[in-house]
A and B are shown apart, each in its own frame.
Chain A
Amino acid sequence: MVPMTDQIDLLVIGGGITGQCAALAAAEHGACVRIVDFKRNAGSHANAGSLHVQMQSRFLRLNPHLADNLESSLPLYLEAVAAWEALDRKLGGVELTREGGLMLADSPEQMTFLRQKAEREAKKGLSVDILDRDALPKIAPYLGSTIMGAEICHDEGKLNPLIANRKLEARLTELGVEHVYDRIIGFDMTTSNPIAKGTIDHSADQIVIAAAWGSGALANELGLAIKTPPEPLHMNITEAGDYRIHHLIQHAERPITLKQFRSGQVVIGGGWSAQAGEGDGIPTILSQSLLGNVALAATIAPGIGGLRLLRTWAGYNTPVDGKATIGPTLLHPRLHLALPGDAGYTLGPVVGQCAAALAMGFDPLTDPTPYAVSRWT
């Protein structure tokens, strides 16, 4: 097919939060940037806007063998929320708040688990405290009576992803970043500039792959054994209520995230599964996830019981190995990966910025060496 002729400095494959933030950073440094996106199943369009920092009990439970990966990434999470705060200012507000996140316990064993977890996290620089039962009614009066205590992580927060995505897109358009719809299926490295092959050829000086679940197949083309299976996840949202739930709520043992947008709606998730779509189709809802997830939310926070459930949806998360992958691929130094790993919406801005920085030669927000591609060879 006819290659696009204009000179592109950076081609970003994938138009989710990671790819957009890579494009933003490069464009702000004066680069000519194109995003090529398949426009299917972006996790960034399905996610719930939790800014995660503390280790999610869910990830530890499902992937005990990857606990070290998660723990060693904690500094990146701190950088990530700082990057989000900068983005919030730059975009003129995305309803970001950092009032902290509570991880609840309802048994002495869970309290012990939280204490140990908090100790490990404090060592990595997180601002965490253990709260007993008496401390809770004042800050979270909507919680149920079975809750014995909680770990609070003061670094955590939330934002409204619909607003963030919309404003980010507008900002990119302002900066002249071009959006192209295409699916990349491979690369041609024999020409002077690398080419990403889709229905047309996309040639650029540097290429960043930020295609989440689509990255594995592209990495394989480059000889890297990275697996990026999509994880279909379920979400729920209620109608609006008075704004009372300020924290991001999780549980030490049960799969739940619960928070309230400033617009009053309560968003309930926490990793309940959905049914994978056929082919490229969107995932569909499973009744047991809907019932289990909402019932759990209502037990933990009976205060939401007067609201009605408005809607559910499902999307693809790309947890990879619980650790970000950032930087040039070894055989082809002009091709770069930007994979956040778990909690990708939180990590997207910092991961995208770092990958673009390595590609274009400006300063990354944090040292990306621990997340280099080399661990995959």
Chain B
Amino acid sequence: MSKLRFTFDGHDRTAAPDLSVAAALTECGTQAFRRTDSDAQRGIFCGMGVCQDCLVAIDGVPNQRACMTPLRDGMQIETQIARPKLTAPPAQKKAAKRLTPAVLVIGGGAGGLNAAIAAREEGADVLLLDERKVPGGQYFKQSASPDATPLDPQQADGKALLRAALDAGVQIQSQTEVWGAFDGPEIMASDPECVYAIRPRALIVATGAYERPAMIPGWTLPGVMTVGAAQTLWRSYRTLSGRRIALFGNGPLTAQVALELANGGAEIVLLGEAASSPWKRTQAATRMLRSDPRLTIKGIRMLAELRRQGVSLRHMTKPTKIEQTDSGLWVSYEVHGRTKQVEADAVCLNFGFQPQNEILRLLGTKMRFDSRYDQLRPERSEMMETSVHGVFAVGDCCGLGGAPAAAVEGRIAGRAAAGSKVTHTKEQSELSSHRAFQDALWQVYAATPVQLETVTPDTIVCRCEEITKRVLDDAMGNGHTDIGAVKRATRVGMGRCQGRYCGPALAGYMARRLDLDVQDLSFFAPRIPIKPVDIGTLVAAENLLDQDGSDD
């Protein structure tokens, strides 16, 4: 296939078709995409549209997320400066539509796709929105190229599920990002051509999770990214984040991605796991095997395969510092209490997951804190309905549960949202065994979390506003005891990512310092838009008001 031509900061570049801008730049060896207010460089971090650190200017329009923007032939891409000029952008002709589907599903992962199919099978008209070019979510992570052969059964299953949803008559809109949720519920979303105001009869939120990083000095450097970001580069675009890759994390995802990248040709210089060896936790491992023998065996095979690939998996290992040198990234890490160092081109981090519950919190669903997983979970009925009538929630946006549980929850919620009262006891028992598996899995992987208590004062906690731990400590020292006051006093959480990374870390830190229980109010108040939205889109959406004459 013929290559696409583009420029980066005026230099001619070429790349394969069906890449994101971020993947194309990575293929060309570029890791730094933008500069911050303090002139620090940033690049891909989350790979999924939430961190807002991969911003570039494209064809004169500033602040475009490289990871969410498909590369087009002829694009002129530039490093994003901290403060772009105030010039009116080229006039956009965005359309605006009001939609009223019976069931609206937000998110096309394991949870959302299954929910949509189940609701459709009950006869409801179903609209599913997903912000990615190809839906499938994190587990089924699809290739962005329509003709690519699936990498493995996981990707093939996802392709089949997506096909099944389309065959069932689910209306799927990809590249459509939800950015607003209002009482009603009324959902606001936009794609490159159109902005939507949607009032469904029932809403199913299936927005999944994002990854929890390790806040250590250097975690904001270009080339340091989440494990999921490197996985997306590989699985969706066949792009390696670097030649030499070091991965650090807690849980099976890090090892799985290390294997995928090794199979893809990367040199895995280190795979560090925070927990001790699973063989030392025999009771939990047995429970895991009992609740899901198939998945447990899959995990054991994966570890064997890693060994065959020559990847050394080190347990009780945690990164402590990352520095940029002329030849790459120099990572210091602790293994069994000793400090060692390794050099890599890309460093991947994953220390757990954080539910994407912004829409649920905006709609006011009751949340409770699950201290075992360190996550907020919405209160739900057996039918997956939240405390807000007609609003259902499934999958990892309700706290980590894994893809199999998300699928079952999706089916239950889909039927209920379509008005069916039928319950299947089999599904409830499937769910309990999936949940028992997750519980056992995380007991096997139990490790002391990387918490703010242990990081040095100069460590950046808020990536966006470049706020260090020292500044937060000072604010708390001045008697601020609620997170909103610390936010106003320091600007922590006021940046583009809406406090997605600093928020949960700070909420836990403050609660422990003040000896309080973590609850919904411990976190930053949810704010609209849940992701920055360009002003042209809002101008287009205003036409919707004129249509109903509800303007003030």
Q: Which residues of A contact B (CB under 8 A)?
A: 39, 45, 142, 162, 165-166, 169-170, 173, 179, 238-245, 263-264, 272-273, 275, 282, 284-292, 294-295, 297-299, 302-313
Picked from A170, A273, A302, the residue with its CB within 8 Å of the CB of B88 is: A302
Q: Which residues of B contact A (CB under 8 A)?
A: 37, 61-63, 82-89, 180, 182-183, 186, 188, 197, 478-479, 482, 488-489, 491, 494-496, 498, 525, 527-529, 532-536, 538-539, 541-542, 544-545, 550-552
Nearest-neighbour CB distance to chain B for A208, whole angstroms, equals 22
Q: Is the CB of A285 within 8 A of B84?
A: no
Residues of A within 8 A of B479 (CB): 173, 179
Q: Is the CB of B527 within 8 A of A306?
A: no
Q: Is the CB of B539 within 8 A of A294?
A: yes
Known: A298-B536, A303-B86. 9 other contacts (CB 8 A): A169-B489, A238-B535, A242-B84, A287-B180, A287-B197, A303-B88, A306-B62, A306-B535, A310-B532
Residues of B within 8 A of A273 (CB): 552
Picked from A245, A288, A304, the residue with its CB within 8 Å of the CB of B550 is: A288
Most B CB contacts (10 A, CB to CB) among A297, A298, A308 go to A308
Give complex CA distance A169, B477 in Å: 13
Give complex CA distance A263, B478 in Å: 24
Q: Is the CB of A304 within 8 A of B197?
A: no
14 contacts between A and B (CB under 8 A): A142-B86, A173-B479, A241-B84, A275-B183, A284-B183, A288-B550, A290-B528, A294-B535, A306-B86, A307-B84, A307-B535, A308-B63, A308-B533, A311-B527
Nearest-neighbour CB distance to chain B for A93, whole angstroms, equals 16
Q: Is the CB of A304 within 8 A of B182?
A: no
With contacts A162-B491, A284-B183, A306-B62 known, is A241 near B528, CB below 8 A?
Answer: no
Residues of B within 8 A of A305 (CB): 88-89, 535-536, 539
Picked from B88, B186, B478, B550, the residue with its CB within 8 Å of the CB of A173 is: B478
Residues of B within 8 A of A244 (CB): 85-86
Q: Is the CB of B82 within 8 A of A309?
A: no
Instruction: Please give me the 5 A-B residue pairs with the lowest Cβ-Cβ distance, nearest first.
Output: A295-B542, A302-B88, A308-B532, A303-B86, A291-B542
Residues of B within 8 A of A282 (CB): 525
Nearest-neighbour CB distance to chain A for B81, whole angstroms, equals 9
Q: Is the CB of A307 within 8 A of B63?
A: yes
Picked from A241, A286, A313, the residue with its CB within 8 Å of the CB of B527 is: A313
In the complex, residue of chain A having the shortest beta-carbon distance to the beta carbon of B544 = A291
Q: Is the CB of A295 within 8 A of B532?
A: no
Nearest-neighbour CB distance to chain B for A169, whole angstroms, equals 7
Residues of B within 8 A of A45 (CB): 488
Nearest-neighbour CB distance to chain B for A302, whole angstroms, equals 4
Q: Is the CB of B86 within 8 A of A288?
A: no
Residues of B within 8 A of A304 (CB): 86, 535
Nearest-neighbour CB distance to chain B for A231, whole angstroms, equals 14
With contacts A239-B496, A305-B88, A311-B529 known, is A292 near B542, CB below 8 A?
Answer: yes
Give complex CA distance A133, B86 in Å: 20
In the complex, residue of chain B having the shortest beta-carbon distance to the beta carbon of A244 = B86
Residues of B within 8 A of A290 (CB): 180, 528, 538
With contacts A166-B488, A284-B183, A287-B182 known, is A306 near B542, CB below 8 A?
Answer: no
Nearest-neighbour CB distance to chain A for B375, whole angstroms, equals 23
Residues of B within 8 A of A245 (CB): 86
Residues of B within 8 A of A306 (CB): 61-63, 84-89, 535
Q: Is the CB of A308 within 8 A of B83?
A: no
Most B CB contacts (10 A, CB to CB) among A263, A272, A289, A306 go to A306
In the complex, residue of chain B having the shortest beta-carbon distance to the beta carbon of A142 = B86
Nearest-neighbour CB distance to chain B for A308, whole angstroms, equals 4
Secondary structure at chain B's binding surface: helix, strand, loop or mixed? Answer: loop
Nearest-neighbour CB distance to chain B for A10, whole angstroms, equals 20
Nearest-neighbour CB distance to chain B for A272, whole angstroms, equals 8
In the complex, residue of chain B having the shortest beta-carbon distance to the beta carbon of A162 = B488
With contacts A284-B183, A295-B542 known, is A308 near B528, CB below 8 A?
Answer: no
In the complex, residue of chain B having the shortest beta-carbon distance to the beta carbon of A287 = B182
Q: Is the CB of B85 within 8 A of A241?
A: yes
Residues of B within 8 A of A165 (CB): 488-489
Give complex CA distance A114, B255 in Å: 68
In the complex, residue of chain A having the shortest beta-carbon distance to the beta carbon of B64 = A308
Residues of B within 8 A of A179 (CB): 479
Give complex CA distance A311, B538 in Å: 13
In the complex, residue of chain B having the shortest beta-carbon distance to the beta carbon of A295 = B542
Residues of A within 8 A of B478 (CB): 169-170, 173
Q: Is the CB of A311 within 8 A of B535?
A: no
Residues of B within 8 A of A284 (CB): 183
Give complex CA distance A264, B494 in Å: 14
Most A CB contacts (10 A, CB to CB) among B494, B545, B552 go to B552
Give complex CA distance A288, B61 in Å: 26
Residues of B within 8 A of A313 (CB): 527
Residues of A within 8 A of B37 (CB): 240, 263
Give complex CA distance A241, B482 in Å: 30
Q: Is the CB of B87 within 8 A of A303?
A: yes
Q: Is the CB of B84 within 8 A of A308?
A: no
Residues of B within 8 A of A310 (CB): 495-496, 529, 532
Picked from A170, A264, A295, A312, the residue with its CB within 8 Å of the CB of B539 is: A295
Residues of A within 8 A of B545 (CB): 288, 291-292
Residues of B within 8 A of A243 (CB): 83
With contacts A290-B180, A298-B539, A310-B532 known, is A239 near B63, CB below 8 A?
Answer: yes
Nearest-neighbour CB distance to chain A for B135, whole angstroms, equals 24
In the complex, residue of chain A having the shortest beta-carbon distance to the beta carbon of B489 = A166
In the complex, residue of chain A having the shortest beta-carbon distance to the beta carbon of B465 = A263
Residues of A within 8 A of B183 (CB): 275, 284
Give complex CA distance A194, B482 in Å: 31
Residues of B within 8 A of A142 (CB): 86, 88
Give complex CA distance A304, B62 in Å: 11
Residues of B within 8 A of A264 (CB): 82-83
Residues of B within 8 A of A291 (CB): 538, 541-542, 544-545
Residues of A within 8 A of B529 (CB): 309-312
Give complex CA distance A39, B37 in Å: 32
Residues of A within 8 A of B89 (CB): 305-306
Give complex CA distance A39, B485 in Å: 10
Nearest-neighbour CB distance to chain B for A232, whole angstroms, equals 14
Picked from A170, A239, A285, the residue with its CB within 8 Å of the CB of B528 is: A285
Give complex CA distance A173, B532 in Å: 37
Residues of A within 8 A of B542 (CB): 291-292, 294-295
Picked from B83, B197, B536, B539, the residue with its CB within 8 Å of the CB of A242 is: B83
Picked from B86, B180, B494, B538, the residue with its CB within 8 Å of the CB of A295 is: B538
Residues of B within 8 A of A173 (CB): 478-479
Q: Is the CB of B85 within 8 A of A311?
A: no
Nearest-neighbour CB distance to chain A for B94, whole angstroms, equals 12
Nearest-neighbour CB distance to chain A for B210, whole angstroms, equals 18
Give complex CA distance A321, B237 in Å: 62
